[in-house]
Amino acid sequence: MNSGQPEKKSYVQFDPLTGYPAGRNIYYECLRCGDVVPSLPTDSTACTCKDIAIDVDYGRVSVKDHGKMKVFSAAAS
C-alpha cells in the first residue's frame, strides 16, 4: 500500500506467465490507483482499486490487468 514510497526505483521486466518477481526490495506498483504493494507482505493485502492482491496464506498474487502494473526494485538513497 502507499506507505513510504522508496527513494529510487529500478523497474523490472517480467513475464506474468512465468511468475512474479518477489523479494525484500521488490514492489508492485498499480498504475490505476497509484498504490505500491510489497511483494512479500506479512499480511494479505491489495491496492486500493483491488487490481493487485496478495494472499499470503496461499502464496498467491492476483493481478486483474497486467497492463496497469509495474514491478520495481527499491533502493534507499
Q: Could you tell me if residue 39 is inside a domain? A: yes
pLDDT at 50 over 70: yes
Helix (H, G, I), strand (E, B) or coil at 68: helix
What's the total number of domains in the chain? Answer: 1
Identify whether the C-beta of residue 32 lies closer than 8 Å to the C-beta of residue 68. Answer: yes
Q: Could you tell me if residue 3 is inside a domain? A: no
Measured distance between the N- and C-terminal CA atoms of the chain, rounded to whole angstroms: 20
CA-CA-CA-CA torsion sign (34, 39, 43, 46):
positive
Structural domain containing residue 26: 8-75
| pLDDT of res. 10 | 94
pTM metric for this prediction: 0.86
Q: Could you tell me if residue 18 is inside a domain? A: yes
Taking only the tens place, the pLDDT of each residue in 16-39 is 999 999 999 999 999 999 999 999
